[in-house]
């Protein structure tokens, strides 16, 4: 199958700038994968091939890094991606209950997406906001000291 996905000239320029920040281009892989995910929503084989070509890296290495880190989506996720922390501090303050309530309320499980593509759910490890446990993230935004009622209000307010 031919690789149909491509970075724009501006994106390639941005990648060149990122590469110059590091002693070797390989180190630019994580920001490059992040860029690809922001552009295409998830990292398909075609998207990973595009990154591999842009950084002149073996596809197997790109795939290995993308697979290792859960923040890189290997399948399409929702427009709004809810990450619910159930690690120790959050679990002790009800994070696991919030995750169970979210699964029941939205009818999806870990790393699943609603049929309309609006919402996806992920149970995550510590996101470094233990002082505000229990916490969730919706896309890039953290919400701390939350209850499930709070989660529902946040989701209902999403455009």
Which residues sit at the interface with ligand FES, rule CB under 6 A? 85, 87-90, 126-130, 133, 135
CB of 42 to ligand FES, least distance (A): 24
83: nearest Cα among 120, 109, 115: 120
**Shortest spacing between CB 142 and ligand FES, in angstroms:** 9
Pick the closer one to ligand FES by CB: 129 or 146. 129
Distance, in Å, from the CA atom of 79 to the CA atom of 119, rounded to the nearest integer, reads: 6
Please identify, using beta-carbon distances, which residue of 37 and 87 lies nearer to ligand FES: 87
Alpha helices in 22-116 (DSSP H): 29-40, 45-55, 59-68, 88-92, 95-106
- Least distance between ligand FES and beta carbon 136 (Å): 9
| Contact indicator for 136, 83 with CB cutoff of 8 Å | yes
Residue among 33 and 129 whose Cβ is closer to ligand FES:
129
Residue 113 tokens, joined: 């997406």
- Minimal distance in Å, beta carbon 150 to ligand FES? 15
Q: Which long-range contacts (CB under 8 A, 24 or more apart) does 126-129 make?
A: 126/85, 126/87, 126/88, 126/89, 126/90, 127/83, 127/85, 129/85
CB of 88 to ligand FES, least distance (A): 6
Residue 110 DSSP class: T
Closer CB to ligand FES, 15 or 98, in the complex: 98
Nearer to ligand FES, 18 or 95 (CB): 95
């Amino acid at each position: 199958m031919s690789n149909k996905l491509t970075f724009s000239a501006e994106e390639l320029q941005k990648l060149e700038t990122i590469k110059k920040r590091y002693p070797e281009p390989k180190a630019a892989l994580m920001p490059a994968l992040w860029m690809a995910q922001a552009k295409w929503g998830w990292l398909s084989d075609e998207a990973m091939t595009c990154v591999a070509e842009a950084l002149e890296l073996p596809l197997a290495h790109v795939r290995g890094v993308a697979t290792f880190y859960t923040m890189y989506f290997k399948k399409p996720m929702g427009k709004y991606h809810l990450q619910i922390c159930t690690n120790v501090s959050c679990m002790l303050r009800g994070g696991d209950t919030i995750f169970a309530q979210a699964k029941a309320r939205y009818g999806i499980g870990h790393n699943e997406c609603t049929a309309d593509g609006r919402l996806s759910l992920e149970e995550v490890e510590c996101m470094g906001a233990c002082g505000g446990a229990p916490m969730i993230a919706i896309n890039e935004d953290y919400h701390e000291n939350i209850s499930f009622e709070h989660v529902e209000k946040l989701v209902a307010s999403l455009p």
